[in-house]
Structure 1
Amino acid sequence: MDVLLATYNGSKYLHAQLDSLLAQTHQNFRVLVSDDGSSDATLEILENYRARFEGRLVVVPNPHSGQGVVRNFENLMVASLQDGQAGWVAFSDQDDVWLPQKIERCLNEMVRMEEEGGEGLPCLVHTDLTVVDESLNVISDSFARYQRMDPRQCSPLSLLSVNQVTGCTMMVNRTLLQMALPLPRETIMHDWWCGLVSGSGRRRFVPAPLILYRQHGANQVGAKDRSLKTRLLRLLTNGAGIVGRVRVLGGATYLQAQALQLRLRAVGLDGGYVSEYLAWRGRPFWVRMVGYRQYYVGPELDRISRCLLWFK
């Protein structure tokens, strides 16, 4: 299998992540690295670790350098698929720390899923995380609870609006990789797109937190305190900005769902639930208020705000 590690000016935390990969109980993997044009010591660190990985660390040339995290991960996905050695890939951020059994437990779950009838289908395994601060002090022992979400209850339909598949915990099989590529320009994040593609196959959530999810102020996505008190305070201090971001995300999710519909048609799979979702998004507000909970998961404040602010 391949671990896909996307880097960009990550020298402050990269040592810890590479050390955690070397400490995995399952060691039959390669690390493919794509760098997005780092100006710090990231590439030097990677070179210093090359010998410790005994040929299993490969820096992949990045023709899309400087184009951001989505294209950086896409470069790795393409490299792994074209190389043809790996049956599965796991996505890795540069600033986290993987617990020793992370790969082993995800791979065991993936093999079990494929043996149960998932072989030939796009399959995805993802896990919970422990949220930690910059110095790895625990903020919350469960990212899912911290974000007030339940990935076990997430359906292909609700995933069109709310991503509950955290990329740095994710392992996917080769079939999913083939279906996901190329990433359409409407892709919001690579992990969300892979989660959507898994709706045509199998997805399984492992509730164990197998990653220390480091929060340091420069995270691409990150974990935010979603308590009602904190969220109301954010709304009072930056209401216009929050409303603007919600509206933008609404438009982006609609376009991403359209892209999924086209991809499913292209590979000959049923996209009926996507068509249902797109039609529902175009209905009047009072119609969408009936049964909106099957489309919008998460805290009720989030659900209501989507109904109010999301249109086509």
Structure 2
Amino acid sequence: MSKIEIIEILLPTFNGSSYLEVQLESIFEQTNQDWKLLIRDDGSTDETVSIIEKWQFNYPEKINIILDGQNRLGASGSFSKLMEYSSASYVMLCDQDDFWLPLKVEKSLNRLLKAETEFGKQTPIMICSDLEVVDEHLNPISRSFWKDRKDDPSILDDFEKLIAHSVVTGNTIMLNRAGINVSAPIKTNFFLHDQWISINVARYGKVIFINEPLLKYRQHTSNVLGSFKLNKRYLIKKVKSIPYYIRSWNKLKKELEMDFSLRKVVFFKLNYNWNKIFND
């Protein structure tokens, strides 16, 4: 790099005191230390805010806290606000209860800079990766989240397929400034932040997958979202949800003027999930 690029790590918190300090420790142990933390709390009632304030007191040059007086926006709403508040050239999305492997920042940034060299800084670029699934004590459950879900990274090139099926987990995302600009603010509640971001970056730019886990994805009883098992019950649930999806996708086309083939999206959702269940 011709200059040191300061990355902003966007961390929304809400009642995360049980695991937050372990996550913060893993960030401070990164091989690349050219980052700052931008934290926004969503109205915690436990010790989360006290933990954040303690860490900011100890590392004032590394941690900025957003106090906007708005509570209960949810994870997607908080990430949307943090992307709008960010002024950095590069951002990484961070959950409060995971554990970052030491090379996460370094490998993500190196891959993003390589992509910018190839496609230009004006191209929206998103980097994402695999994850190691662990229990609440960080004991391994699965080495590869993507393999467990039987997901195919090739669909990351097609925004219509990403409308049909969410494959990216937000805690692996890194964006350049152009990627932030096409992603923020999040304009719908139908998609979670990770799917919204991946759709918009794929629509206007490039989504690039690092085929190795760069963090430990903690599964515990208070997870908002987490890992799941693929089975026929999962497929039946997806099929039964198709009328709801069609109504929602039609609404998106009209309200957000998002031009996509509804037939392609519906067919892909059914076919992709069928193949995940019945094909090895």
1:197-230 Cα deviation digits (max 9, x unpaired): 111111100011011000102222211021x3xx
CA contact (8 A) 2:155 2:162 kept: no
Which of 264, 268, 273 does residue 299 from structure 1 map onto? 273
| 1:244 CA drift (Å) | 6.1
Match of 1:71 in 2: 77
Per mean C-alpha deviation after superposition, the further-off stretch among 56-65 and 162-171 is 56-65
Q: Mind listing any 5+ residue stretches in structure 1 that lack a counterpart? A: 263-270, 282-287, 305-312
Match in the other structure for 1:137:
139
Measure the CA separation in 2 of the matches of 1:197 and 1:303.
28
Kindly indicate whether residue 34 of structure 2 is the aligned counterpart of residue 60 of structure 1: no
What is the number of residues matched between the two proteins? Answer: 270
Aligned counterpart, 2:3: none
Corresponding residue of 2:14: 8
Equivalent residue letter for 1:110: L
Q: 1:193 aligns with which of 193, 196, 199?
A: 196
Tell me, yes or no, if the aligned pair for 2:91 and 2:175 is still in contact at 8 Å: yes
- Alignment CA distance shift 1:302-1:248 (3 Å): farther
Gap change, CA 1:16 and 1:299, over 3 Å in 2: same
Partner of 2:248: 252
Aligned Cα root-mean-square deviation (Å): 2.5
Larger radius of gyration: 1
For residue 138 of structure 1, what is the amino acid of its counterpart?
P
Q: Does 2:29 match 1:17?
A: no
- Segment drifting more, 69-78 vs 51-60: 51-60
1:120 to partner: Cα distance = 0.2
Cα shift at 1:186: 4.3
Equivalences for residues 79-118 of structure 1 within 5 A? 79-80=85-86, 84=87, 86-118=88-120
TM-score by length of 1: 0.79
Q: Which runs of 5+ in 2 are unaligned?
A: 1-6
Report percent identity of matched pairs: 31
Q: 2:208 aligns with which of 204, 213, 237?
A: 204
- Of structures 1 and 2, the one with the larger relative CO (CA 8 A, separation 6+) is 2
Tell me: CA distance 1:280–1:7, structure 2 relative to 1, closer, same or farther (3 Å).
same
**Where does 1:145-294 land on structure 2 (aligned, <5 Å)?**
145-154=147-156, 155-199=158-202, 200-226=204-230, 228=231, 231-232=232-233, 247-256=243-252, 261-262=257-258, 271=259, 274=260, 277-278=261-262, 280=264, 292-293=267-268
- Residue 225 of structure 2: SS of its match in structure 1? coil
* One-letter amino acid of the counterpart of residue 120, structure 1: Q
